[in-house]
C-alpha cells in the first residue's frame, strides 16, 4: 500500500516538475509558482504568518510591476490590494482560480503535446513495475470529451 502511495507521490512530483519546465520554456512559470504559493499560504494557522506571507505573495505576484506578476484583471487585483492589510486564508482564491483556468485552458493543452510531456510518459512506460495491469474495458472514444485537469500534476 505505501509503495503505491510513494509511487503516486513521485509521479505527481515528476508531473509537476515537467509542467514547470514546460512553463519555463513559455516564460510563464510565474503561474505555477503563484498557484503553489497560494496552496502553501492556505496551510498557515498563525495570524502573523498569514499577514507576512500574504504581503510577500502580493509583492511578488500581484502588485503592478511585481517581479513575477501574474496576468489578472484590474478588479481582482484591486480586491486583493484592499484586503492585504487584513488578509484571510481566502484572500487569493479568486486570483488562484483565474491563474488555474489560464494554465488549464492555455498552457496545459500545449504541454500535453510537448516533448517534455512525451519524454515524461515514455520514461514512465520504460520503468519496470510490480503493479498488476487492469484490463481496459473502455475505448478512447468514450473519453474524448473529458477535460484535462492540471491538478493531476500538482
Distance CA 123, CA 94 (A): 36
DSSP-assigned letters across all residues of 29-40: HHHHHHHHHHHH
Does residue 64 fall inside a structural domain? yes
Does residue 8 fall inside a structural domain? no
Over range 27-56, report the average pLDDT.
96
Domain residue limits at 37: 27-121
Distance CA 39, CA 42 (A): 5
Does residue 88 fall inside a structural domain? yes
DSSP-assigned letters across all residues of 88-142: -TTTTHHHHHHHHHHIIIIIHHHHTTSHHHHHHHHHHHHS---SPPPPP-S-GGG
Angle at 127 between CA 123 and CA 131, to 5 degrees: 130
| Residue-wise pLDDT tens digits, 108-129 | 999 999 999 999 988 864 444 4
Place of cell 472514444: 141
| Residue-wise pLDDT tens digits, 5-34 | 555 778 889 999 999 999 999 999 999 999
The enclosing H or E element of 10 equals helix 2-25
With 0.85 as the threshold, say if the pTM is over it: no
Angle between helices 29-41 and 93-102 (to 10 degrees): 150
**Looking at residue 7, what is its pLDDT?**
52
Does residue 36 fall inside a structural domain? yes
- Closest CA relative to residue 25, chosen from 107, 125, 127: 107
Does residue 147 fall inside a structural domain? no
CATH at residue 51: 1.10.167.10
| Residue-wise pLDDT tens digits, 52-70 | 999 999 999 999 999 999 9
Say if residues 61 and 30 touch (Cβ distance below 8 Å).
yes
Q: Which region among 101-110, 114-123, 137-146 has the lowest average model confidence (pLDDT)?
A: 137-146
Amino acid at each position: 500500500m505505501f509503495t503505491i502511495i510513494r509511487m503516486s507521490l513521485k509521479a505527481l512530483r515528476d508531473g509537476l516538475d515537467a509542467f514547470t519546465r514546460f512553463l519555463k520554456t513559455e516564460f510563464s512559470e510565474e503561474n505555477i509558482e503563484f498557484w503553489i504559493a497560494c496552496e502553501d499560504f492556505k496551510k498557515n494557522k498563525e495570524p502573523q504568518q498569514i499577514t507576512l506571507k500574504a504581503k510577500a505573495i502580493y509583492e511578488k505576484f500581484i502588485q503592478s510591476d511585481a517581479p513575477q506578476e501574474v496576468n489578472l484583471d484590474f478588479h481582482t487585483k484591486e480586491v486583493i490590494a484592499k484586503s492585504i492589510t487584513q488578509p484571510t486564508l481566502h484572500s487569493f482564491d479568486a486570483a488562484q482560480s483565474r491563474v488555474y483556468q489560464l494554465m488549464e485552458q492555455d498552457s496545459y493543452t500545449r504541454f500535453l503535446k510537448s516533448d517534455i510531456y512525451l519524454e515524461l510518459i515514455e520514461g514512465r512506460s520504460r520503468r519496470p513495475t510490480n503493479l498488476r495491469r487492469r484490463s481496459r474495458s473502455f475505448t478512447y472514444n468514450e473519453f474524448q470529451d473529458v477535460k484535462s485537469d492540471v491538478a493531476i500534476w500538482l
